[in-house]
Structure 1
Amino acid sequence: MQHRPVTAFGRGAIDGEEQRIVAALLAGGDSRLNLDRQGLNKYLCPPTPAPALTCLSSCTASPISDLGFERASAAFWRIAAAPRIQAPSRIEACEDSIEVAIRGYLGLDPGDQVILTASGTDGMLLAACLLALEGCDSPMTTILPSPSETGTGVPLAAACRVFDGPFAGRSVVEAYVTTKHVALRGPDGMPREAGTVAEDFRDAVRAVNGRAVIVFTYGTKTGLVAPVEAPAGVDVIVDACQLRLPAHKVREYLKMGWPVVITGSKFLGGPAFSGAVLVPSARFSRRARARASRICALHGGLAGVGGLAELASSADVTGPLLRWSAALATLKEAALSEDQVAESVIRLEDEAGAAVAALPGAHIIEQSTGCPGIVTFAVEAPGQPGSRLGVDELRQLYRGLAGQGVLLGQPVDLGPFGALRVAIGMRDVVRGSIEESLRRLAESWPLARRQGAARAKAA
């Protein structure tokens, strides 16, 4: 199979009306959504459905589905077709319907609030700002997993700083907020023992002079959960952006008073990006929530878009709503219980693991703790048994596979080497099978591996 641009696996040319919808879908985000000359975002995803593209990439990003595009289009025209004076109420109605769907999926208590954000990173920024404001601008230290296991902008967002664009790094609150990182992997690239990682988090808390906040990550890029137990008496932000945790866990964390950050663009398979912060009832005052949302909206590019109707004059307002509408489309299609979804994910992960293990040169990275649905694996260089490719070399392989119509999770830096990922998403659960996807991966692998090695050598 010859190398083709990823766009060759999409729908082709779009008409003027669809161009308006695409522009709206890309609005209200950050530079990660910018399209390159091939019409792809940072994650090699086109802004329109790509039905011929095999997607095993829900741990990173997925192109919008046909059903998702249909739902997003319907939401767009409900807003766009309204007289200008009615636009705020249409936006508010769309936002309300999304919040109702999220509440229903997770079984939230009536008092818990859902604040929609432009992305999961924007959600982290909003959650961190809530805690900083709650502390009356006193110094705060946020302790979180090493950046290689979280989103690129998460460390800045957790420090209440702009994470993208020309003002990246600028603080958005008066409080002095710093971060500390805890390594989840050892020098050999393997996951460290969960108890040791938890103790490192406790040590980091004890070393803080002032207020400490833990980012409890339920599902890192490779599916790790860290720390397995949060230190007692410490404020916590739950990073559940992968949304690969049981709904009862979300409710449990909210009852403990912990804000939970989620997205619709990972497991749910919606287009990048759509985020939300689930705020525990009675934890933060309405005034504090409004103030944090305003701060993030001003400095973070529509971060904290709860109350979008107030921003109806902005062309960016509809973007996060349309992306959430697309993300929830698959959820509405899945008439499955939580237990059925969990069982399906485990079954499909086992199938994916067996298929990856059979790929020449692939070596699965075993981990004893974590959330299901992500198979992480290293790759050896052709003709060099025992070697492990680095992240830069894996990017060539990753792009080579994408050029043949197979999209995996982006390469992750594990320290001494890199890793690729095969991820199970809600779309796979609804289909009930990934057999065809795994077959295409196996067929594309040899050529992509050879070409990737050649390009890495020439670079």
Structure 2
Amino acid sequence: MRRENMSTLSASLRLQAVEAPISQDRSRSAAAMAELFGPLDGLLRGGGDPRLDIDPTSGANEYGCQPFPCPGTLSFASSTATSISARAYARAADARDSLMRSAIAIGIDGAFEARIEAMRDELKAHLGISGTRADVIFAPSGTDAQLHALFLTRALRGPALTTVIVAADQTGSGTADTARGHHFRTATANGVRVRKGEPIAGLAHSVASVALPLFDDGGDFRPQTETDSRVLSAIEKLVASGSNVLFQVMDSSKLGWRAPSEACLEEISVRWPQQVQVVVDACQMRLGRPRLRKYLDRGYLVIVTGSKFFAGPPFSGALLVPAVLSKALDAVPAIASGLREYSSRSDWPMQWSALRARFPVRINFGQWLRWEAALEEIRAYYSVPDEFRLLALTTFRTGVERIIASSPLLRPLPPQQKPEGAGADDEELAQTTIFPFAIRRGDRLLSPSDCRKIYRGLARDALDAVSASGRGCAPEIAAKPCLIGQPVALNEVEQGPVAALRISASARLVTETWSLDLDTAHDNLQRELGHVGAIVSKIEWLLAHLDGLNVMETPHAS
């Protein structure tokens, strides 16, 4: 917005404040408008998880990301978090300017509600689920959306409920708490202080959970047939005991895995149509639009995010609710009182007038702006021709697999073996887009703590983290900030805990390499693979200096 326009708007708002009657609502609206005029960077990191907080020393959050564009960073971290792009940052700035103008005309509450409702339609259009196929509940994160899924399932199936989590060892760190209706952090996105691990009022009563990990006791991935068998056995026992089930499906995990199989899901639908509600953890958003539509048409709830694959700024979640459930949900007689600390009225679709009226009127600018940024990334991705999206992801997969295999210090993890024809519903995302690897040091693989040191060293100029006498001769490699997917713990029985890091393809990889000139597009893709090679070189450099590497320990974020 031009400076003179900002002055005009500011003067108009000051005049409004003087002339308006003094009331609680007016005071809240004035405070909201004052917040809206704050720095855009501050708004983008507000109204979310404490992991968005900026460390004053590094200038980055716990993921190593910043709330403004960082074009000099080599970023392949879309399985974790990514700094906002210049394109998405401009979209957020324009969206704020537009909301300011609307707020002067109709008031901040009405303007904000109208914009959020329009974003539901925009998200559905981009994902190919326009019309009445689904409703959208916005949330600060995918973890918050899990609480919404639990609340809605309790309303539909009754309070006696058990959450069954498949791939529980590859989902978000908060899932163990949200599956039981417990607080998963020490503060909600709305700034309410809570006690992590304690029950959420009105949500946790008569709720239990069952965790089904993908790793077996020997540290290996379970065969698909074994995972399916464990899922069916757990659900059968729970239903026989009189419990209804919220079954959380994984699509896909931190390591790129999907569970259970299609055959298992079909059997569950046939055997227990009234006792089991399926919710799909699709937070990674590495699935095709036809598969997403199939899930919704089956009556599944689906958790999505605008970050991860689409590379919007971290912490933008949503729960997609199939149309078959919508009418019943609006008739819910009451809400869990503790859920009011996590959600606001604007998060819920306007057509659910009875349900949404039970939530407080509260404006979360950070959540809104992060979704504005994410919608721009999603729009840009699906604006690229189908053929190039497939070409880009295929070229990247081949190149990254070759680069990782060529390093004597990296051990790639095996990809999931998929049945013939399993990718038909996934469009170009049938391609592998997450490339996990362990790191060798001598005859051992790195522990989670050492992997975190490597992860933090990658994200910064690491030259000052190593003594001058031990730096070697690669300052240009050591100095380059690099973001990749943070460590994922593996269950390696023989040598103790180990972890894997991840290089991930994102929607931004596609949009930033696309060109009408195919030679230019090819060169752009090779440039990105060159960046992957530079990251591997920095990993090797950091490994050589691991003992003398001085990087600050931070809490594990997932």
What's the TM-score bracket when you normalise by the shorter of the two chains? 0.7 to 0.9
Residue type matched to 1:129 in 2?
Answer: F
Aligned to 1:236: 278
**Residue pair 1:236, 1:258 contacting (<8 A) in 2 also:** yes
Counterparts of 1:13-162 in structure 2, within 5 Å, are: 20-37=39-56, 38-81=58-101, 82-83=103-104, 86-111=107-132, 112-137=134-159, 139-162=160-183
* 3-state DSSP of counterpart to 1:380: strand
Counterparts of 1:214-363 in structure 2, within 5 Å, are: 214-228=247-261, 229-230=264-265, 231-232=268-269, 233=272, 234-285=276-327, 287-288=329-330, 298-300=340-342, 305-306=347-348, 314=362, 316-334=363-381, 335-337=383-385, 340-363=388-411
Point out the structure with the larger helix share: 2
Cα RMSD for the two superposed structures: 2.8
Q: Which moved more, 1:198-207 or 1:255-264?
A: 198-207
Once residues 224 and 287 of structure 1 are traced to their aligned partners in structure 2, the CA distance between those partners, rounded to angstroms, is 31
Q: Determine if the alignment matches structure 1 residue 164 to structure 2 residue 164.
A: no
Higher relative CO (Cα under 8 Å, sequence separation at least 6) belongs to: 1
**Residue pair 2:396, 2:529 contacting (<8 A) in 1 also:** no
Q: Determine if the alignment matches structure 1 residue 444 to structure 2 residue 538.
A: yes
Once residues 446 and 454 of structure 1 are traced to their aligned partners in structure 2, the CA distance between those partners, rounded to angstroms, is 14
Residue type matched to 1:162 in 2?
Answer: H
Aligned to 1:395: 452
Aligned to 1:198: 228
**Residue pair 1:397, 1:451 contacting (<8 A) in 2 also:** no
> 1:331 Cα shift?
2.5
TM-score normalised by the chain length of structure 2 = 0.73
Once residues 77 and 69 of structure 1 are traced to their aligned partners in structure 2, the CA distance between those partners, rounded to angstroms, is 13
> 1:327 Cα shift?
1.1
Superposed CA offset, 1:393-449 (max 9, x none): 100111111123111100000112210000000000112322232132133222222
Aligned to 1:380: 440
**Residue pair 2:433, 2:504 contacting (<8 A) in 1 also:** yes
> 1:92 Cα shift?
2.3
Superposed CA offset, 1:27-77 (max 9, x none): 221212122222322211111111111111000010011111111111122
Aligned to 1:413: 489
Once residues 327 and 205 of structure 2 are traced to their aligned partners in structure 1, the CA distance between those partners, rounded to angstroms, is 19
> 1:201 Cα shift?
0.8
Aligned to 1:8: none
Q: Which moved more, 1:127-136 or 1:51-60?
A: 127-136
Note closer, same or farther for the CA distance 1:212–1:312 as it changes in structure 2 (3 Å cut): closer
Superposed CA offset, 1:90-113 (max 9, x none): 212321332222211221152211
Residue type matched to 1:418 in 2?
Answer: A
The aligned length equals 439
**Residue pair 2:169, 2:215 contacting (<8 A) in 1 also:** no
Once residues 501 and 535 of structure 2 are traced to their aligned partners in structure 1, the CA distance between those partners, rounded to angstroms, is 13
Residue type matched to 1:400 in 2?
Answer: G
> 1:18 Cα shift?
9.1
* 3-state DSSP of counterpart to 1:267: helix
Once residues 303 and 60 of structure 2 are traced to their aligned partners in structure 1, the CA distance between those partners, rounded to angstroms, is 26
Residue type matched to 2:282 in 1?
Answer: A
Aligned equivalent of 2:246, options 204, 213, 218: 213
Q: Which moved more, 1:61-70 or 1:444-453?
A: 444-453
- Counting aligned pairs with the same residue, the percent is 26
**Residue pair 1:140, 1:211 contacting (<8 A) in 2 also:** yes
> 1:144 Cα shift?
0.7
Q: Which one has the largest radius of gyration?
A: 2
Superposed CA offset, 1:128-174 (max 9, x none): 1100111232x111111354300111222222222111332323426
Residue type matched to 2:367 in 1?
Answer: P
Once residues 169 and 292 of structure 2 are traced to their aligned partners in structure 1, the CA distance between those partners, rounded to angstroms, is 24
**Residue pair 2:180, 2:204 contacting (<8 A) in 1 also:** no
**Residue pair 1:120, 1:274 contacting (<8 A) in 2 also:** yes
Once residues 202 and 156 of structure 1 are traced to their aligned partners in structure 2, the CA distance between those partners, rounded to angstroms, is 23
Once residues 89 and 333 of structure 2 are traced to their aligned partners in structure 1, the CA distance between those partners, rounded to angstroms, is 33
Note closer, same or farther for the CA distance 1:195–1:296 as it changes in structure 2 (3 Å cut): farther
Once residues 237 and 60 of structure 1 are traced to their aligned partners in structure 2, the CA distance between those partners, rounded to angstroms, is 21
Residue type matched to 2:233 in 1?
Answer: D
Q: Which moved more, 1:435-444 or 1:280-289?
A: 280-289
Gaps of 5+ in 2: 1-34, 187-193, 351-355, 419-429, 461-479, 493-497, 514-524, 554-558
TM-score normalised by the chain length of structure 1 = 0.88
Counterparts of 1:418-429 in structure 2, within 5 Å, are: 418-429=499-510
Gaps of 5+ in 1: 1-15
Q: Which moved more, 1:323-332 or 1:269-278?
A: 323-332
**Residue pair 1:148, 1:412 contacting (<8 A) in 2 also:** no
Once residues 90 and 290 of structure 1 are traced to their aligned partners in structure 2, the CA distance between those partners, rounded to angstroms, is 27
> 1:259 Cα shift?
0.7
Note closer, same or farther for the CA distance 1:355–1:325 as it changes in structure 2 (3 Å cut): same
**Residue pair 1:142, 1:213 contacting (<8 A) in 2 also:** yes
